[in-house]
Chains A and B, each alone.
Chain A
Amino acid sequence: MHPAWLKKPEVEPFERAPFVVLAIKRAHPGQFHVGIVHRSDAETPRLLHLAWHEDLRNGPPSAEYCWTRLPFERAICRSLAGICRKVARWYTEGEPLPYGFDDHGTAFDPNTGVVQLGSDSSGLTCSTFVLAVFRSQRYDLLRLDSWPNREEDEAWADQVACALEEDGATDEHVQRVRRCIGKAVRVRPEELVGAVGLVSDLPADFEPAVRGAETIKLALGR
């Protein structure tokens, strides 16, 4: 069961997709991963995604990723692809981007491409990274005040903090991440892509995002 709004690259390749699309894959059981596939006329498509702490990547998307359109006109998508190239240049060649939780005050400076962490933020997840890129140009994909704080998300956040510790993140960063647990709501990758796939008039609320997420789980596996 594959919804029409969730495209398989073997059927509709990234080369023929709009200039900017959201891409999602099932990373592990119960865990999805999201990024932005952007392209220009001259270059092959690139997947810009926050893979992990200080690990922003911008490379060719693998065939595991399915994609969905954003409800923006072609010319707007082409401009947003330019923003992706700028963010990629800055963070893959320069400043490392921290993985953590966000109070949704975080955005990329629209002028510089530099991330501005909100006061209670410790970094970004793969989902909030995508949201921040679009928010930098005042394109809000989700209505985050409709997102609930869920108990199971706190357990997930705790696992992330432990993993960061094991992977050698600084104590200061891990402490900052832990301070955000329970405060920052979690946007799951499948909710973000589900919302964008289902809702044409963004920003999307939580309810359609959950419906979209369920559809993605059915299509890609839980």
Chain B
Amino acid sequence: MMQTAAFRPILADAGGFATAETVRRNWVRVREAQENVFSLPQPDVLAQCYWYNERREVDLAIDSALDSFDRLLRGGQFRAADAVLRAVDVNYLHPDVSVAILVFTRAAAERLTNRERLIDRLRPILEGAEGPETARRILEQVR
């Protein structure tokens, strides 16, 4: 339903010759529509990562998280990636996996508003696991 509504203006434009401006405008609309669709909570994006985490395969969970964010960020799905960051369960994931998620999203930090909130949520977990001084250094190095 959301897709239909979002794409309607594009179809309305399709009656005449496509000017460069029309093509550009339509492309922007397509990207916005994609962003809207993918900015919904994405509970399954990290499913494999959580599965490996459950099995205590921390490095495989890290690789899986990297692949997941790779797909989202490569496709320009920053809002979706941000939604995934919001849903990261720091209490459940191994702290190294949560840190890895912050490392993998470092290059896109300006476009991911929930990243800073993830840092705040992770801080007490890291302080408990690594001690306050190491936690401070880790979080400094992911900024």
Contacts and interface: CB of A to CB of B under 8 A. Distances in A.
Nearest to B109: A138
Interface residues of B, number: 27
Interface string B51-69: 0000001111011001101
A75 interface: yes
A80 interface: yes
A5 interface: no
Contacts of A76: 99, 103, 138, 141-142
A112 B62 contact: no
Interface in B89-131: 95-96, 99-100, 103-104, 106-108, 130
Nearest to B98: A75
B137 A78 contact: no
Contacts of A78: 58-59, 62, 96, 99-100
A199 B137 CA distance: 16
Contact of A110 (B58, B60, B99, B107): B107
A138 B106 contact: yes
A218 to B, nearest CB: 31
Contacts of B137: 73
Tell me the dominant secondary structure on chain B's binding face. Answer: helix
Interface string A82-98: 11011000000000000
Nearest to B73: A111
B134 interface: yes
Residue among B58, B59, B134, B137 with max Cβ neighbours from chain A (10 Å):
B59
Range of interface residues on chain A? 20 to 34
A72 interface: yes
Given A78-B96, A81-B59, A73 B103 contact: no
A149 interface: no
B95 to A, nearest CB: 7
Given A75-B95, A111-B69, A86 B107 contact: no
Interface of B: 57-60, 62-63, 66-67, 69-70, 73-74, 95-96, 99-100, 103-104, 106-108, 130, 134, 137-138, 141-142
8 contacts: A75-B95, A76-B103, A78-B59, A78-B99, A79-B99, A86-B63, A111-B73, A112-B70
